[in-house]
Amino acid sequence: MSLGIKKDDTVLVTTGREKGKKGRVLSVASSEDKLLIERINVIKKHMKPSKKHTQGGIIEKEAPLHISNVMLLCPKCEKPTRIAHMILADGHKVRTCKKCKEVI
């Protein structure tokens, strides 16, 4: 169910407790249809001391959101939009904004 959202895109959360917040996509897990978004859906995780986290304690980190709960923000018109695909004259397939028809 890939909606054409890629790493470093700006998205708007449409549902849940983080509704209305904007953020940059850190990673996409396409097999699970989930996204990690910068400073969105932050959880607290209790960690034991280890080699990676020598201090241990309570660590805050982003939890994944389902891809259906976000919409891509068009860089030109700054509105949440769906993605259309268009093939250019040179044969490249590009993503375009459904509202302003601009290449994303």
Close Cβ partners of 52 (under 8 Å, ≥ 6 residues apart): none
Q: Report how far Cα 55 is from the mean position of its chain's Cα atoms.
A: 30
pTM for the predicted model, two decimal places: 0.86
Report the CATH number of the 1-49+58-73 domain: 2.30.30.30
- Say if CB 63 and CB 96 are below 8 A apart: no
- pLDDT tens digits, one per residue of 5-59: 999 999 999 999 999 999 999 999 989 999 999 999 999 999 999 998 888 899 9
What are the residue ranges spanned by the domains of the chain?
1-49+58-73, 74-104
Amino acid at 86: M
Mean pLDDT of the chain: 93
- pLDDT tens digits, one per residue of 46-63: 999 999 888 889 999 999
Kindly report the number of other CB atoms within 10 A of residue 15's CB atom.
Answer: 12
